[in-house]
């Protein structure tokens, strides 16, 4: 069981959370000009690193808020959690 530190509620058991995949996915800025490949990248292609992964979780059965987590995908060690609106520069 992962012990996930919600930035608002503190450390809670994994079963209280829902996983939301990779953080900071940016929708094409000019949708009309984006190519099919750019849309595919946005919709389907994801970082899938073996190691440190910046990802989004929701404290579904708690405060209900989304937040970012920096977690290692091999050891499951959690380096940092932060509110979802914190800019990336302060997080990674």
Q: How far is CA 32 from CA 9, 28, 38, 42, 44, in A?
A: 41, 9, 11, 14, 18
Q: How far, in Å, CA of 26 to CA of 15, rounded?
A: 28
Q: Quick one: 77 or 88, whose CB is closer to other proteins?
A: 77
Q: Is 73 in the site for other proteins (CB under 8 A)?
A: yes
- Smallest CA-to-CA distance from 87 within 23, 33, 28 is with 23
Binding mask 21-60 for other proteins (x = CB under 8 A): x--------------xx-xxx-xxxxxxxx--x-x-----
Number of residues interacting with other proteins: please give it, by CB under 8 A.
Answer: 26
Contact positions toward other proteins, by CB under 8 A?
A: 1-2, 14-15, 19, 21, 36-37, 39-41, 43-50, 53, 55, 71, 73-76
């Amino acid at each position: 069981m992962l012990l996930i530190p919600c930035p608002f509620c503190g450390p809670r058991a994994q079963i209280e959370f829902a996983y939301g995949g990779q953080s900071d996915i940016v929708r094409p800025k000019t949708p009309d000009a984006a190519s099919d490949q750019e849309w595919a990248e946005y919709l389907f292609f994801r970082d899938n690193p073996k190691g440190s992964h910046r990802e989004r979780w929701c404290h579904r059965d708690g405060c209900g808020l989304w937040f970012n987590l920096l977690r290692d995908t091999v050891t499951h060690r959690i380096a940092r959690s932060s509110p979802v609106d914190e800019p990336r520069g302060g997080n990674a």
